[in-house]
């Protein structure tokens, strides 16, 4: 279909960007008014089938592509959701983003993306960029949801958002449940980090371990890491075992190995290491290898996240599986719910599961290694 288009003013337009057809041109071509074209393209509500047909033909012939920027300015809604994550280098966030994107797509929305590189100082600018673009709402992960100037700002402005991975709960101040912002609690989608960690450590204890250390990463200050450590303490405490503080593993690989060397040669030496992420577990196992320790014969290792890669290791990684993609999907659904004016049902806690891989076994001279996957009891 060759397109004949009204001359646009005959400026010597460079050939490097032909202007797209507008409603006006479609209207002219179809011999109707702008309003009719608009009506046809949208609800298609009050338009006779004949004219609608004509409009659609004209639009097709002109290769009409609605300009969402115009629509947006008029409607005040952007059909865009802003996403702010610490990084994409970590599979957990990348997979979650994948879920977010899929869900947004199915809602006909577009995702605008920003990362903070784990630096809370970037949160302000990153979010601001999204807000300037007038996103309808935000899906994001912050360093610490309890003290976050960014979340304070969003609450103040009534900008809808859903946190992912951050696990919010009501904070009690002086005996009364405190809410954030004017009327809305901070809403989030996550697993029950504390319970999940407890389950994993209970698993290690069942295997016969008595000396279990928790390994935390560079981001041990994060709210999640703290909750996981609480779960570790719960399990250890319930079993009448000592729960020393988490080992903060340095960034640098060789330093990490050195730090780990100290840990595994201490007395009494831990027989199992519970890592606060899968990535950390891989680093730990790598370091252990360099120290001549075998996993799980000499020491057991467990992770947290359940990224796809863990399955492919030999032996497969023992870890807590978060439904990462589902977390992203759920967040978008909840945001959407909120945007369509429905009441938010509060935070969502998705089910985790324990993957009993091959990196955790009974300590030397004990028995009963478990090798099959199971789902955790949701007791308590």
Partner DNA sequence: GTGAAAGCGCTAACAA
Partner DNA sequence: TTGTTAGCGCTTTCAC
**What gap in Å lies between CA 140 and CA 159, rounded to an integer?**
12
Among 285, 302, 317, 334, binds a copy of itself (CB under 8 A): 285
Interaction partner, residue 42 (DNA, a copy of itself, none; CB < 5-8 Å by kind):
DNA
Does position 65 interact with a copy of itself (CB under 8 A)? The reply is yes
Interatomic CA distance for residues 63 and 18, integer angstroms: 12
Q: Which is nearer to a copy of itself, 241 or 325 (CB)?
A: 325
DSSP state of 309: G
Task: Tell which positions 132-161 bind a copy of itself, by CB under 8 A.
Answer: 132-134, 157-158
The one segment of 65-73, 144-152, 161-169, 220-228 that binds a copy of itself by CB under 8 A: 65-73
- Residue-wise burial string across 355-377, b where 16 or more C-beta atoms lie within 10 A, e elsewhere: bbbbbbbbbeeeeeebeeeeebe
Question: Which one of DNA, a copy of itself, none interacts with residue 46, CB within 5 to 8 A by kind?
Answer: DNA
**DSSP-assigned beta bridge partners for residue 173:** 176
Task: Output 72 or 230, the one with its CB closest to DNA.
Answer: 72
When CB distances are held under 5 to 8 angstroms depending on the partner's kind, the choice from a copy of itself, DNA, none that residue 39 binds is DNA
- Residue 12 structure tokens: 């010597």
Residues 6+ apart with CB under 8 A from 179: 170, 185
Whether residue 218 contacts residue 86, with contact meaning beta carbons closer than 8 Å, is answered with: no
CA distances from 198 to 116, 311, 325, 360 (A): 30, 22, 23, 15
CA 341 vs. chain centroid, Å, equals: 23
Tell whether residue 112 is a contact of a copy of itself (CB under 8 A): yes
Give the separation between CA 247 and CA 229, rounded to whole angstroms: 11
* Residues in region 4-33 near a copy of itself by CB under 8 A: 15-18, 20
102 binds, among a copy of itself, DNA, none (CB under 5 to 8 A by kind): a copy of itself
102 binds a copy of itself (CB under 8 A): yes
Contact 298, 360 (CB under 8 A): no
What is the footprint of a copy of itself within residues 80-99 (CB under 8 A)?
80, 87-89, 91, 94-95, 97-98
Helix (H) or strand (E) holding 364: none
The phi and psi torsions of 346 (rounded to 5 degrees) equal 90, -170
- 45-83: string of b/e by CB count within 10 Å (b at 16+)? eebeeebbebbbebbebbebebeeeebbeeeeebbbbbb
143 binds, among a copy of itself, DNA, none (CB under 5 to 8 A by kind): none
- Closer of 82 and 208 to a copy of itself (Cβ): 82
* 127 touches, from DNA, a copy of itself, none (C-beta below 5 to 8 Å by class): none
Using the contact rule CB under 8 A, the part of the chain among 102-110, 143-151, 196-204, 268-276 near a copy of itself is: 102-110
Question: Is residue 113 involved in binding a copy of itself (CB under 8 A)?
Answer: yes
Give the residue, chosen from 5, 34, 35, 128, that forms a contact with a copy of itself under the rule CB under 8 A: 128
Q: 301 φ, ψ to 5°?
A: -135, 135
d(CA 108, CA 43): 15
Nearest-angstrom CA–CA distance, 109 and 103? 9
Of 134 and 230, nearer to a copy of itself (C-beta) is 134
Degrees to nearest 5, angle at CA 335 with 129 and 159: 45
- For a copy of itself, which residue of 114, 220, 300, 319 counts as binding (CB under 8 A)? 114
173 φ/ψ angles, rounded to the nearest 5 degrees: -120, 115
Residue 66 or 346 with smaller CB distance to a copy of itself: 66
Shortest Cβ 376–a copy of itself spacing (Å): 24
Which of residues 68 and 308 has its CB atom nearest to DNA in the complex? 68
- Residues at the interface with a copy of itself (CB under 8 A): 15-18, 20, 65-70, 72-73, 78, 80, 87-89, 91, 94-95, 97-98, 101-102, 105, 110-115, 117, 126, 128-134, 157-158, 182-183, 282-283, 285-286, 289, 308-309, 311-314
């Amino acid at each position: 279909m060759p397109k004949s288009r009204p001359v646009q003013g005959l400026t010597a337009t460079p050939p490097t960007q032909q202007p797209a057809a507008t409603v006006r041109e479609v209207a002219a071509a179809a011999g109707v008014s702008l309003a009719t074209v608009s009506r046809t393209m949208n609800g298609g509500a009050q338009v006779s089938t004949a004219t609608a047909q004509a409009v659609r033909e004209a639009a097709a012939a002109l290769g009409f592509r609605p300009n969402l920027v115009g629509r947006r300015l008029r409607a005040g809604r952007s059909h865009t959701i802003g996403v702010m994550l610490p990084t994409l280098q970590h599979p957990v966030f990348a997979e979650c983003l994948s879920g977010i994107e899929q869900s947004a797509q199915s809602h006909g929305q577009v995702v605008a993306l920003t990362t903070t590189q784990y630096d809370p100082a970037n949160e302000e600018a990153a979010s601001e960029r999204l807000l300037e673009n007038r996103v309808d709402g935000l899906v994001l992960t912050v360093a610490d949801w309890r003290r976050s100037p960014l979340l304070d700002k969003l609450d103040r402005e009534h900008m809808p958002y859903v946190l992912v991975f951050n696990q919010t709960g009501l904070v009690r101040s002086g005996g009364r449940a405190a809410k954030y912002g004017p009327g809305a609690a901070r809403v989030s989608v996550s697993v029950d980090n504390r319970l999940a960690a407890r389950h994993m450590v209970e698993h290690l204890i069942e295997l016969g371990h008595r000396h279990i250390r928790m390994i935390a990463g560079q981001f041990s200050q994060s709210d999640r890491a703290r909750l996981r450590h609480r779960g570790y303490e719960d399990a250890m405490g319930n079993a009448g075992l000592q729960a020393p503080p988490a080992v903060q593993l340095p960034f640098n690989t060789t330093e990490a190995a050195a730090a780990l060397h100290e840990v595994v040669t201490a007395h009494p030496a831990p027989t199992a290491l519970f890592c606060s992420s899968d990535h950390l577990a891989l680093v730990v196992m790598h370091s252990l290898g360099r120290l001549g320790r075998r996993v799980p014969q000499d020491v057991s290792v467990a992770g947290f996240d359940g990224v796809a890669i863990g399955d492919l290791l030999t032996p497969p990684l023992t870890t807590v599986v978060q439904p990462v993609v589902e977390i992203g999907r759920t967040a978008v659904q909840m945001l959407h719910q909120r945007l369509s004016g429905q009441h938010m049902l509060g935070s969502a806690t998705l089910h985790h599961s324990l993957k009993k891989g091959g990196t955790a076994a009974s300590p030397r001279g004990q028995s009963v290694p478990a090798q099959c996957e199971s789902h955790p009891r949701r007791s308590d």
